[in-house]
Amino acid sequence: MARRSPSRPAAPRPARHGRHGRLGRSEVVRPPLPPLDGRLDRFELTVGSAVEYLRSTWEELRDVRFEIAAMPLHDRGDGIPKWRVDHNERRVSLYRVPIERLLPKGHDDAAHRRVAIESAVFHAAAEYVGREPWELGPDAPDY
């Protein structure tokens, strides 16, 4: 068995080669898959864009934490809540399942679902600041 002389250093390998002197693994052969676009992803994106608008417009909402939960832990006597406002913890919780699934028959397509989500965000934010939802919009009168 032949040994390498310690006085002669090994030739440096190119950066692209692995530890055995071969090229690294190739990329995946198939075309890239489209990004995941599920109901939860669309819900989070819609809530996020509405909250971003409200925070940029209303100073009272800048430090409020908006959270998304699947379902409320309990239902009220007047029905299933779609959001919960907690002034002490400066938090608004939006319940995804009631907002998306309790739409009227014939209004359960993507456009109506988006409007329902944005409406719930505006209603919850309006309840937090003590105003009406239409007062938070872009054409709201200045008070």
Give the pLDDT confidence of 108-119 residue by residue, as tens digits: 788 999 999 999
The whole-number pLDDT of residue 130 equals 93
Rounded to the nearest angstrom, the gap between the alpha carbon of residue 35 and the centroid of all alpha carbons in its chain is 14
| Rounded CA separation 86/89 (Å) | 6
The whole-number pLDDT of residue 35 equals 66
Higher-pLDDT residue of 27 and 105 is: 105
- Decide: helix, strand or coil at residue 79: strand
Tokens representing 45? Answer: 């994106």
Does the global pTM surpass 0.75?
no
Higher-pLDDT residue of 107 and 57 is: 57
Tokens representing 111? Answer: 């456009």
Q: Are 129 and 60 in contact (CB under 8 A)?
A: yes
Q: Are 117 and 47 in contact (CB under 8 A)?
A: yes
pLDDT at 20 over 70: no
Residue 7 burial class via C-beta count within 10 angstroms: exposed 0-12, middle 13-18, buried 19 and up: exposed
pLDDT band at 83 (very low <50, low <70, confident <90, very high): very high
